[in-house]
Amino acid sequence: MSKKNIEECIRASLEAYFKDLRGEEPHSMYEMIIHVVEKPLLETVMQHADGNQSRAAEWLGINRNTLRRKLVEHKLLK
């Protein structure tokens, strides 16, 4: 799946979200979207990195401590 396909998927999901609102105004969308995208992103990257936080952090382009904090926030550390 290319970057363009991921963008299209997100765009379609956002359009469906607005449709489901049926005219009501959304609130705190940025925080909600980041939260729902970040968890599966972290889960998938950690799986492909075989649980190696240093490798996953490098792939994500973030500091390992930041990754660890986000894993704790999303309750992904065992």
Average pLDDT of the residues of the chain:
95
**DSSP code for 62:** S
Q: Please state the pTM of the whole predicted model.
A: 0.82
**Is-contact 41 70, C-beta < 8 A?**
no
Confidence of residue 1 (pLDDT cuts 50, 70, 90): confident
Q: What is the pLDDT of residue 39?
A: 96
Enclosing domain of residue 16 = 3-74
Number of domains in the chain: 1
What is the per-residue pLDDT across 19-40, written as a single tens digit (0 to 9) for each? Answer: 999 999 999 999 999 999 999 9
Assign residue 49 the CATH number of its domain: 1.10.10.60
- pLDDT > 80? residue 78: no
- pLDDT > 80? residue 2: yes
CA 10 → CA 34, 36, 49, 72, 75, distances in Å?
A: 12, 11, 24, 25, 24
